[in-house]
Structure 1
Amino acid sequence: MATADLGSIEWERSKISTQDINLLKKLGISKKQDSLRFPKEESYPSPPMEYRVSFVDHLIRGLSSPIHDFLCGLLFVYGLQLHHLTPNSILHISIFITLCESFLGVQPNWALWKLIFLLRRNGSSNVAYNIGGVVICVRPDVEYFDVQFPDSVQGWRKKWLYIHEENHDSVEHNIPPFDGNAKIRRRSWDAEASDEEKAATEALMTRIHELQNTRGQELSGIQITAYFLRIRVQPLQARKKPLWMYAGDDDVDCLSIDLPVKDLEKLVRKISSLSKKDTIPSSCGVTPYSSTNALPQNHKTASPVPPLPEGGEVEEWVVVTDDNQAASPRNKRKRGKVVDSGTSKAGASHAEEVIPNAGRKTFNPYEDALVSSGDEDEDPPIDATARTSMSRTLVVSEAQPDGDETSPPQQDTEHPTLVASPRDSSPKRARVDPAKEPAMLIGCSMTPLMEEPLMKEFIRLGTQFIGYRDYAAKLEETLAESNKCADALAIKLEQSDKARKKAEADAATVEDLRKRLHETDAATVEDLRKRLHALSKDICVDYITHHT
């Protein structure tokens, strides 16, 4: 059955409440001027120049701009955009960076990340989601912190907004511009740590197990989450100092002062599965590294980071294979279908199988996207030679979510199938490469059309033109709205002037009436006085006359 890719259909008018805006203000995320912009009437994102599309639920889980280099590297390696990641996936990355910097005392370690995590497609055989279409989950054979994610993050897809991401001189420090129709392609989702990387991270994994299991000082995923939320330093933001140099409320990377306990507990419950009956830790079982708890002497902090595009080239995405060798994204690898329980720890208990070309069903790019590591828009392999592959089986979610991020049921991971080491002498699986299609040529040149430097420059200029054109259109709309407001204000000013003149005329009339009334009252009193005097005089004369 064909898989329906929702694409731009998922986008609708943003519905951010006043409560959400107040929460962002309280957390200090919107403190910097123009750091956020809220959509108006548009039902499809159209970010202004130097802005990217994000979500309220991403921001409250540790995301802020400018974006941390580790996250930029993840997006590049996995071929993703920000809106492809679910809120729980964003929280996974925030917790990992906080763990590395605050409790291991190292930069976020790429080899350690590959050892702990893998990615899976958030969808089913019938639906392939675009917004939140990728879920980061813990490998089933790894002992890691239980984060206690909520079963469902309701309505997060409807709360999108624009975050400011300034363009840097070097392209590798920029996240990809927003593309709501960008298809999710599995480039290196199953990349595992090599034997050398496993050996290099053995001490870090040992320390993680100590943090989890030291009696009386156990560290949990909720404690790590509460820690970075309380100190108000966003893990996924490019910062001036690592977290092991955190200096309290005066730290240059703090967005606001420490959260009060009441607000912290409310926020932790909002992004986790904890209820009002559960206790929220206000401190960690282990003291994190900071300016008051310095790293041990001779402690090495450098760590390998995800590869970023080099030389400003971002059109040709590089794939990091299992042995850390760069490969072309068009080298597709075949994988058999496996079943996924959809838990936060992905299952890997099914063996891989090679699907031959003969008798293959009609190619469906959307359905294959759920099980294939290649690009969705390529043709199926045709008459290709078999090669070897070290890729690991990916898991596929068969449960269809209800439109919001959900945590699938638990699965039995008691006997996971271990993947052979690249140095193992076991038989290697066959990998099929698609036949190359004839390239479009310019004149008699053998260079593909899209690889021509002139064509690349033309595409770059065209993209900039479209961006400036959209920006100019928005400015024209803003100017038109300002003109309307100015006209309305002019009309109100004219009405106010008329009302003032009428009030002044009425006041003059009232003053005239008051004077006339005063004069009338004075004349009447004087007349009455004279009449009274004359009457008194007459009475006196009559009295004298009568008695004489």
Structure 2
Amino acid sequence: MAAADLGAAEWERSKITNQDLNLLKKLGISKKPKAVCFPSEESYPTPPMGYRVSFVDHLIRGLSAPIHPFLRGLLFVYGLQLHHLTPNSILHISIFITLCEAFLGVQPNWALWKRIFFCRRNGSANVAYNIGGVVISIRSSVNYFDVKLPDSVQGWRKKWLYIREENHGCAEDNIPPFDGAEKILRHRSWDAEATEEERTSTEALMTRIHELQNTRGKELSGIQITAYFLKTRVQPLQARKNPFWKYAGDEDTDRLSTNLEVKDLDRLIRKISSLKKKDSIPSTYRVYSAANALPKNLENLRVDKKRLPPRHTPSSSAVSPRNKRKRNDAEDSGTSNAEAVPSRQKAAYDPYLATLISSDDEEEVPTADVTARTKKLAEVHERANTLAQRLEQSEEARKKAESDAVEARQEADKAKADAAGVEDLRKHRTSQEFELEDPDDDSLLDAVSFLEFHGTEAREGMDEARAGLSKLFPYFFPKKEEPATFLGLAKCFNPPEDLGLKMRHENMKVAVESTVALVADSQQTIDWTKVGDTEQIEQTRWRSLVKAAKLNTKKILAYLGIKPSSTPSSSKPEV
């Protein structure tokens, strides 16, 4: 039973952490304005115009836009998109390009690649992945560097984002259009092996690789190559102005950021490899750069169209995508390569001339309809962009219409609620009903009229309360100035203590002190100890004394300078 292909169902909402954002910022990947666009709440990638889908774990392993022509060629030959490749596969390609440019001094070589790598499907017996559904593996028969890749990269499929598609002077540098539901089809190119001629021509490069591996005291590993391109701050999978053998250090134009701190570099290397904390990171082997120029024999053999021999033709064994298609078509039709391509005098095959799948190779072998086909492709590309823009405009118009409809519904609901509130406004909290003299028969206007009516009533009540409190103020606060605002006046009558009780206590105190003074003035002999001992006072005798003194109350008050009140107090005295 065939494994089920997840397809579009494998995508889910992107979950990028702050730690991921900080790492991209340190690496300089998000340094350029709008270089990176992060998805919002969508669960399936819908890249904006001019953007392509990528992953955080791809970017930290050397991927950037515009992509390197060699990577574009691999995607073309293998029939893949970027999201089909696992993070470990991306790292394999980054290491290979760095190895060729910095350690071998040549452009990435398609023939050399076939000698080392092949593609295989990623999945299980029951599930075939779409995201990361293809793995680039090292051939078991090849003695290659120990890269120390992790067995798995946890959660990388959930960390997708959009990177801005850029053009590096050639439309072929562009990333293939995104199609998240496209099924992965196995191609014959996945298992393509180097021909005998390619093996012979790349033998010198393989020998050099073995020397780099086994030179005592200078052994090179995949970790060292990884550490080198991370230190340089140059993304191997990006289309660059100069190859690594022209790297100019801190002033290099292809650098994305300044040097990483030692701790950040160490942490990043361990993040993308299987190194443990106890494992040390080996130092980098000497490389070709602007400070260590290529030997003259390599410089002379570097690919340059002006230096190519006349009528130079790359090998017919799949040096370029067009030749690859020709060979496959010939094999499928049952004809030989000699029958499919007219014989012509071939130059000696050279590994430094048979370089990556690039437009340079294709231009050296023009076909009769290449110009017309190129124009047609450009026209199709332009029409596709126009349609995409129209679709985007239509989508914006649809969203605006939906937004206007929502606002209209909200306004209608608000008007309905306002109309329902008019009846409540017509009734006062006291359940007293009010009627407008000239209603407008409009819910909103009538509601405003009722609000004005209630506002007038509230103002009149405030004025009345102000007048009443102003009259009471001097009675309770004879020594204070009346506040200018109603709020200040009202706060005076809302203290924590009882103002009436406080005033009565003060009056009682004045009365007692006045009585004591009056008695003292009479020069009578009084035992003040007994007077102060309230527990010894007999209530009946006290009441009879008060009753006897009542006849002379007015005289006593007049003597004390107190005007008697016309209305006796009904409050009980507090002793």
**Does TM, scored on the shorter chain, surpass 0.5?**
yes
Q: One-letter code of the match for 1:35?
A: A
Q: What CA distance in whole angstroms lies between the structure 2 residues aligned with 1:101 and 1:134? A: 25
Offset from partner CA, 1:437-465 (integer Å, 9 cap, x none): xxxxxxxxxxxxxx999998997576435
Please say if residues 231 and 259 of structure 1, whose CA atoms lie closer than 8 Å, have aligned partners that are also in contact: no
- For 1:20, the aligned partner's letter is D
| Residue in structure 2 matching 1:469, options 381, 387, 390 | 390
Counterpart AA for 2:385:
Q
Q: Which residue of 2 aligns with 1:352?
A: none
* Contact kept? 1:13, 1:41, Cα under 8 Å: yes
Cα distance in 1 between the residues matched to 2:316 and 2:90: 24
> In the alignment, which residue of structure 2 is the partner of 1:268?
269
Q: Which of 275, 286, 298 is the aligned partner of 2:296?
A: 298
Partner in structure 2 of residue 135 of structure 1: 135
Offset of 1:127 from its aligned partner?
2.3
- Check whether the contact 2:317–2:324 (CA below 8 A) recurs between aligned residues: no
Gaps of 5+ in 2: 305-314, 338-371, 406-483, 491-575
Q: Shift of the alpha carbon at 1:204?
A: 1.3
- Give the equivalent residue in structure 1 for 2:224: 223
Residue matched to 1:80: 80
1:110 aligned partner, one-letter code: W
Taking the aligned partners of 1:90 and 1:199, their CA distance within structure 2 comes to 28
**CA distances 1:261-284 after superposition (whole Å, capped 9, x unpaired):** 111110011111111111123x31
CA contact (8 A) 1:191 1:321 kept: no
Alignment RMSD (CA, Å): 4.8
SS in 2 for 1:135: strand
Where 1:92 maps in the other structure, the secondary structure is helix
1:366-377 equivalences under 5 Å are none
CA distance in 1 between partners of 2:172 and 2:217 (Å): 43
Instruction: Count the aligned residue pairs.
Output: 409
Write the deviation string for residues 253-310 of structure 1: whole angstroms up to 9, x where unpaired. Answer: 11111111111110011111111111123x31x211222x3224413255689xxxxx
Question: What is the match of residue 288 of structure 1?
Answer: 287
Aligned partners of 2:318 and 2:324 also within 8 Å: no
Post-superposition Cα deviations, 1:366-425, rounded to whole Å, max 9, x if no partner, equal xxxxxxxx9xxxxxx9xx98999xxxxxxxxxxxxxxxxxxxxxxxxxxxxxxxxxxxxx
AA aligned to 2:199 is K
Equivalences for residues 394-543 of structure 1 within 5 A: 463-472=384-393, 475=396
The corresponding residue for 1:46 is 46
Rounded to whole Å, the distance in 2 between the matches of 1:461 and 1:332 is 30
After TM superposition, the structure 1 = structure 2 runs for residues 126-165 of structure 1, keeping only pairs within 5 Å, are 126-165=126-165
Question: Which letter does structure 1 place at the counterpart of 2:96?
Answer: F
Does the 8 A contact of 2:316 with 2:327 survive in 1? no
Secondary structure (helix, strand or coil) at the match of 1:259 reads: coil
- Give me the whole-angstrom Cα distance separating, in 2, the residues matched to 1:237 and 1:456: 24
SS of residue matched to 2:298:
coil
CA-CA distance at 1:2 after TM superposition:
2.9
Deviation at 1:165, TM superposition (A): 0.9
Give deviations 1:93-128, integer Å, cap 9, x for gaps: 000111111111111111111111111111234322
CA deviations 1:235-254 (Å, max 9, x no partner) are 00111111111122221111
Q: 1:456 to 1:251 in 2, by over 3 A?
A: closer
Contact 2:66 / 2:168 at 8 angstroms: preserved in 1?
A: no
Change (3 A) 1:250 1:128: same
For 2:241, the equivalent position in structure 1 comes to 240
The answer as to whether partners of 1:5 and 1:129 remain within 8 angstroms in 2 is yes
Question: Residue 12 of structure 1 contacts residue 44 of structure 1 at CA under 8 Å; is this kept in 2?
Answer: yes
Q: Please tell me whether the aligned partners of residues 149 and 271 of structure 1 are also in contact (alpha carbons under 8 angstroms).
A: yes
- Correspondence for 2:350: none
Distance in 2 of aligned mates of 1:224 and 1:66: 22
Measure, in 2, the Cα distance between the counterparts of 1:177 and 1:130.
16
Tell me, yes or no, if the aligned pair for 1:108 and 1:303 is still in contact at 8 Å. no
Distance 1:267 1:330, change over 3 A: same
Aligned residue for 1:131, secondary structure, equals coil
TM-score (norm 1): 0.60
Secondary structure of 1:162 counterpart: strand
Structure 1: gaps of 5 or more residues:
306-319, 334-373, 375-380, 389-450, 485-506, 514-548
| Greater relative contact order (Cα < 8 A, sep 6+) | 1
**Partner of residue 174, structure 1:** 174
Contact 1:110 1:304 in 2 (8 A): no
Aligned amino acid, residue 74 of structure 1? L
Q: Deviations over 1:210-246 (max 9, x none)?
A: 1110101111100110111122111001111111111
Looking at secondary structure, tell me which structure has more helix per residue: 2
Between 214-223 and 2-11, the greater mean CA deviation after superposition:
2-11
Structure of greater Rg: 2
